[in-house]
Amino acid sequence: MLLAIDSGNTNIVFAVFEGDRLRGEWRTSTNTERTADELGVWLTQLLTIEGLRRHDIDATIIASVVPAMVFHLKTLCRRYFGSEPLVVGDEGVDLGLAILLDRPEEVGADRLVNAVAAHRRYDGPLIVIDFGTATTFDVIDAAGNYCGGAIAPGINLSLEALHMAAAKLPRVAIGRPRNVIGKATVPAMQSGIFWGYVSLIEGLVRRIKDEFGTEMMVVATGGLAPLFADATPVIGALDADLTLRGLLEIHRRNARPAAR
């Protein structure tokens, strides 16, 4: 079985695959102070609840956009699962795509993993929108190559910034308001964030397609993707497990005997 680890700025997702079957998926907040042992004890207990044992895991793969977490996650894989992890972005890891950027080393591992999975599942050309700590728009050509994209502040980050910077604006939860014109402060803030992001999505997608010069399928992923996928027709597919499926695909491409 494969343990796939997606370490983002806000959460770390752990998933176990048996072949193509997703046997379990768990998440915890990203905290660089948590040790490999703390993560190991926590994860072992969750595996047990699902009827799995840590000795069932014979391969591991990590994608992280938080450099400080990589050491702890590598140690976790080695100590608790007897596996030398494959780390997306390390030298020699084959992604099966070209990174057509001026500075390829700056691309987040999660964006490349999404590109791998999206091309395999939907061909291309594609735009992948990931609703995470940041909202990213990634462009993949028909051959599966990563062509760049755009990065905007995430929805929750924008809400927090609005609350922190304006004394009279409260902290509000994201939601889809019925009306665009808010009749009180909270509905007005929710409208500005929600419908503002819908306009951001539609505007950037249109401009990317115009610049790329062809029609493109749009795939949405990330925690808040379901909320926005129903709000605009420009999103053609909702894929909650895109990053995890990308990790599975990369592992298969780089398969090697487990280190025990």
**At which of 87, 113, 133 does a domain end?**
87
Query: Quick one: 62 and 124 in the same domain?
Result: no
Annotated binding site for K(+): 130
Distance CA 222, CA 243 (A): 9
pLDDT tens column, 130-180 = 998 889 999 999 999 999 999 998 887 777 777 676 656 667 778 888 889
Q: Which of 58, 102, 110, 123 is catalytic?
A: 110
Range of the domain at 143: 104-246
pLDDT tens column, 63-114 = 999 999 999 999 999 999 999 999 998 988 999 999 999 998 889 899 999 9
Query: Quick one: 74 and 108 in the same domain?
Result: no
Residue 258 has pLDDT above 50, yes or no: no
Annotated binding site: 6-13, 108-111, 130, 133, 185
pLDDT tens column, 204-226 = 999 999 999 999 999 999 888 99
Query: Quick one: 81 and 147 in the same domain?
Result: no
The torsion angles phi and psi of 147, rounded to 5 degrees, stand at -105, 0
Please check whether residue 59 lies inside any domain of the structure.
yes
Please check whether residue 73 lies inside any domain of the structure.
yes
Please check whether residue 149 lies inside any domain of the structure.
yes
Query: Quick one: 179 and 229 in the same domain?
Result: yes
CA dihedral of residues 10, 16, 19, 22 (deg, nearest 10)? -70
Query: Quick one: 70 and 199 in the same domain?
Result: no
Please check whether residue 242 lies inside any domain of the structure.
yes
Query: Quick one: 62 and 19 in the same domain?
Result: yes
Please check whether residue 61 lies inside any domain of the structure.
yes
Please check whether residue 128 lies inside any domain of the structure.
yes
Query: Quick one: 163 and 82 in the same domain?
Result: no
What are the CA-CA distances from residue 72 to residues 35, 96, 146 (Å)?
6, 27, 29
Strands 11-18 and 2-7: antiparallel
Question: What total number of domains does the chain contain?
Answer: 2
Distance CA 169, CA 245 (A): 40
Cis preceding linkage at 226, omega within 30: no
Query: Quick one: 21 and 147 in the same domain?
Result: no
What local confidence, expressed as pLDDT, does residue 259 receive?
43
Please check whether residue 45 lies inside any domain of the structure.
yes
Query: Quick one: 200 and 233 in the same domain?
Result: yes
Query: Quick one: 149 and 229 in the same domain?
Result: yes
**At which of 30, 54, 87 does a domain end?**
87
Annotated binding site for substrate: 108-111, 185
Query: Quick one: 242 and 147 in the same domain?
Result: yes
**At which of 57, 87, 117 does a domain end?**
87
**CATH code for the domain of 21:** 3.30.420.40
Query: Quick one: 31 and 72 in the same domain?
Result: yes
Query: Is 210 part of the annotated catalytic residue set?
Result: no
For tokens 């190559």, name the residue.
145
Annotated binding site for ATP: 6-13, 133
Q: Which two tokens stand for residue 200?
A: 């951001």
Q: Percent of the chain having pLDDT more than 90? A: 71
Please check whether residue 257 lies inside any domain of the structure.
no
For tokens 């400080």, name the residue.
68
Q: Can you tell me the mean pLDDT for 12-23?
A: 94
